[in-house]
């Protein structure tokens, strides 16, 4: 698998990263080098090997359903850049 | 050209847990903004999620209730996207190995019964809320809802009309509220539907291009949005245009869907297993315990009602539309009512009055025992059906029992032959023409006279007895 210049531009747009034309060309080259490394790893035969979703062989710990958290809004909002009426304020977003 | 409609639904159900899926903050609705958040919900660096056992148990309950495969091992993934109501920058969800796979929901449209297959159901966390009112030109964020447990239930694209989609959504709603994993409060967002809709020429095998209608929170909007979308897609194609895959929003005021984003702009969610959460493993013992604790499900209860009470399939279906209604019916019968009469009264006068007063069966002022006692008075001929309706009205208003009202208002049906006979004689004397018609073979001529006897008795005569006496005297 390899990426096209268009792919790189699209990824940059989705990641909200502004890139210049030169950066696109440079990133394109670097990303495709990465892909060739991945290609090499993919050439290993893993038939019959169960994929590991987690590097450690552990099971998920479960907790009882009890609401013990107290209201710490004041402490949390003390480090927020802008708040009003208990809300965090962020730059206007309307999708 | 003839078109075929293809619909699949994705339903987000909020699970009835006290605390959030990965944090010990409360999930109660309506608290002041940001007062129900823990470090995990606001994504402070280093805060780690810990899974809520009750959320897992709700998912197991659902899987067993629809006959699905409850996976003994499932995995949580990060779904990455940027939005301020998701402070971590990713939603914890399940992608490749969801907790529930397969399963079936049975729906009824008109007289036809159909099975709709489910693809999967997976656990995930809800996002917070963005408030776009003007806060100094900024957006306000409330993270109380962030981390509320959701079960996203995905159907196969097997529905062929908006009516089927609504029937499926209602059957699913009935089931999740029945087994108690969701409170069903649609106005609070506890049950939200996304509909994937496409059209294709009849006979074509491959699917048409679909558009996804997001976030429908009522069955009415679901129906309207799908109907509009179907018309729009067919018209677009017939006018030589093409449907572009994407996400649309439904505007209930205009009754229209409009494009939110096309596939070109679709997020690349970059799913990968969440390193904070090792695989979820569910033991056989746990599954067997949940199975043994599941309540009797609607479909099984319908079959039992038909068998045990001799009521129709339609009545059985209506009476099992909620667990509380089914319990009310059974309690009415247990209080001495004939089952068929009980079904008729509950779906007739009781439902009609509840609807008029915008109440549900849970707030019904007449208890099942009181209704049962009233119906018993019809069966034992103490009162006739018409009088019973009046008694019910008085019970509704005063809270008195049927027997008290019948006694107090002297409503007891007149079954004394002598008294009715006298009225019958008067009515017959005044209606020689009806007698003649009856004798010349018009059976119905006497029915009108029964009405007059009833009127003459102040509504208290036993109508069957009145008809019998009329026939005897004329015949």
**Pair (B216, B335) in one structural domain:** no
**Could you tell me if residue B206 is inside a domain?**
yes
Q: What percent of chain B has pLDDT over 90?
A: 71
Residue finishing a domain among B236, B268, B286: B286
**Pair (B272, B358) in one structural domain:** no
pLDDT > 80? residue B302: yes
**Could you tell me if residue B83 is inside a domain?**
yes
Q: What is the mean pLDDT of chain B?
A: 92
Give the pLDDT mean for B236-242. Answer: 94
**Pair (B251, B376) in one structural domain:** no
* CATH number of residue A36's parent domain: 1.10.20
**Could you tell me if residue B314 is inside a domain?**
yes
pLDDT > 90? residue B259: no
**Could you tell me if residue B352 is inside a domain?**
yes
How many domains does one find in chain B?
Answer: 3
pLDDT > 70? residue B265: no
**Pair (B24, B159) in one structural domain:** yes
**Pair (B281, B312) in one structural domain:** no
- Write down the pLDDT at residue A94: 65
| Local confidence band at B132 (pLDDT 50, 70, 90 cut-offs) | confident
ipTM for the complex?
Answer: 0.79
- Write down the pLDDT at residue A50: 84
- Write down the pLDDT at residue B264: 65
**CB-based contact, B32 to chain A, within 8 Å:** yes
Helix extents (H) in B5-152: 53-65
Min Cα distance A26 → chain B (Å) is 22
Does the CA dihedral B37-B42-B44-B50 come out positive or negative? positive
**Could you tell me if residue A88 is inside a domain?**
no
Give the pLDDT mean for B49-64. Answer: 98
pLDDT > 80? residue B11: yes
**CB-based contact, B23 to chain A, within 8 Å:** yes
Does the CA dihedral A84-A86-A90-A95 come out positive or negative? negative
pLDDT of B349-384, one tens digit each? 999 999 999 888 989 999 999 999 999 988 888 888
**Could you tell me if residue B309 is inside a domain?**
yes
Give the pLDDT mean for B237-242. Answer: 94
**Could you tell me if residue B42 is inside a domain?**
yes
pLDDT of B153-191, one tens digit each? 999 999 999 999 999 999 999 999 999 999 999 999 999
**CB-based contact, B135 to chain A, within 8 Å:** yes
The minimal CB distance from A60 to the residues B26, B32, B278 is found for B278
pLDDT > 90? residue B209: yes
Q: Within chain A, how many helices (H) and strands (E) appear?
A: 3, 3
The domain of A23 spans: 5-42
Residue B163: Cβ-neighbour burial (10 angstroms; 0-12, 13-18, 19+) = middle
pLDDT > 80? residue B244: yes
- Write down the pLDDT at residue B180: 95
**Could you tell me if residue A92 is inside a domain?**
no
The minimal CB distance from B33 to the residues A64, A67, A86 is found for A86
Q: What percent of chain A has pLDDT over 90?
A: 72
* CATH number of residue B470's parent domain: 1.10.10.410
Q: What percent of chain B has pLDDT over 70?
A: 99
- Write down the pLDDT at residue A36: 92
What's the Cα-to-Cα distance from B430 to each of B29, B31, B180, B434, rounded to whole Å?
69, 73, 63, 9
| Local confidence band at B108 (pLDDT 50, 70, 90 cut-offs) | confident
Nearest to B413 by CA among B397, B431, B391, B398: B391
B423 or B366: which leads in pLDDT: B366
Q: What is the DSSP string of B243-266?
A: PPPEEEEEETTTTEEEEEEEGGG-
**CB-based contact, A40 to chain B, within 8 Å:** no
Residue of A nearest to B75 (CA): A53
- Write down the pLDDT at residue B436: 81
How many domains does one find in chain A?
Answer: 1
**Pair (B18, B112) in one structural domain:** yes
Give the pLDDT mean for B387-410. Answer: 88
The domain of B464 spans: 417-474
């Amino acid at each position: 698998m390899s990426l096209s210049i268009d792919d790189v531009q699209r990824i940059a747009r989705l990641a909200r990263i502004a890139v210049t034309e030169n950066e696109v060309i440079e990133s394109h080259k670097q990303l495709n080098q990465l892909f060739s490394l991945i290609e090499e790893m993919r050439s290993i035969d893993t038939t019959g090997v169960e994929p590991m979703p987690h590097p450690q062989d552990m099971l998920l710990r479960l907790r009882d359903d009890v609401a013990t958290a107290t209201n710490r809004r004041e402490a949390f909002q003390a480090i927020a850049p802008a708040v009003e009426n208990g809300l965090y304020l962020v730059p206007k977003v309307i999708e | 050209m003839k078109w075929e409609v293809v619909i699949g639904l994705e339903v987000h159900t909020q699970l009835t847990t006290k605390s959030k899926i990965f944090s010990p903050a409360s999930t109660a609705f309506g608290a002041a903004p940001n007062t129900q958040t823990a470090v995990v919900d606001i994504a402070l660096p280093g805060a780690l999620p810990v899974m809520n056992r009750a959320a897992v148990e709700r998912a197991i309950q659902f899987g067993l209730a629809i006959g699905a495969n409850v996976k003994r091992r499932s995995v949580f993934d990060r779904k990455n996207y940027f939005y301020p109501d998701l402070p971590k920058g990713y939603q914890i969800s399940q992608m490749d190995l969801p907790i529930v796979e397969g399963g079936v929901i049975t729906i009824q449209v008109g007289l036809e019964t159909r099975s709709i297959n489910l693809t999967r159901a997976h656990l995930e966390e809800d996002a917070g809320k963005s408030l776009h009112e003007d806060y100094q030109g900024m957006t306000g964020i409330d993270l109380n809802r962030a981390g509320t447990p959701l079960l996203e239930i995905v159907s196969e694209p097997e529905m062929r009309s908006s009516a089927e989609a609504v029937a499926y959504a209602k059957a699913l709603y009935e089931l999740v509220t029945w087994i108690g994993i969701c409170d069903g409060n649609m106005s609070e967002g506890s049950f939200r539907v996304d509909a994937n809709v496409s059209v294709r020429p009849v006979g074509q095998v491959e699917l048409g291009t679909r558009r996804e209608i997001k976030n429908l929170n009522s069955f009415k909007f679901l129906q309207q949005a799908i109907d509009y979308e179907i018309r729009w897609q067919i018209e677009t194609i017939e006018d030589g245009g093409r449907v572009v895959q994407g996400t649309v929003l439904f505007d209930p005021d205009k009754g229209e869907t409009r494009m939110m984003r096309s596939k070109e702009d679709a997020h690349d969610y970059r799913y990968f297993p969440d390193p904070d959460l090792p695989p979820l493993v569910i033991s056989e013992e746990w599954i067997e315990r949940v199975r043994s604790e599941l309540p009797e499900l609607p479909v099984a209860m319908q079959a039992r009602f038909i068998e045990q009470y001799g009521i129709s399939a339609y009545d059985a279906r209506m009476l099992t539309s909620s667990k509380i209604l089914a319990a009310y019916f059974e309690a009415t019968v247990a209080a001495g009512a004939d089952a068929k009469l009980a079904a008729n009264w509950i779906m007739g006068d009781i439902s009609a009055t509840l609807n008029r007063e915008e109440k549900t069966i849970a707030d019904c002022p007449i208890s099942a025992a009181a209704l049962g006692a009233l119906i018993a008075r019809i069966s034992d001929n103490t009162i006739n059906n018409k009088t019973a309706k009046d008694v019910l009205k008085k019970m509704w208003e005063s809270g008195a029992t049927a027997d008290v009202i019948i006694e107090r208002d002297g409503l007891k049906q007149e079954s004394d032959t002598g008294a009715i006979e006298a009225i019958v004689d008067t009515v017959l004397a005044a209606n020689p023409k009806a007698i003649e018609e009856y004798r010349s073979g018009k059976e119905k001529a006497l029915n009108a006279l029964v009405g007059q006897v009833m009127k003459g008795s102040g509504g208290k005569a036993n109508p069957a007895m009145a008809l019998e006496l009329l026939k005897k005297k004329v015949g």
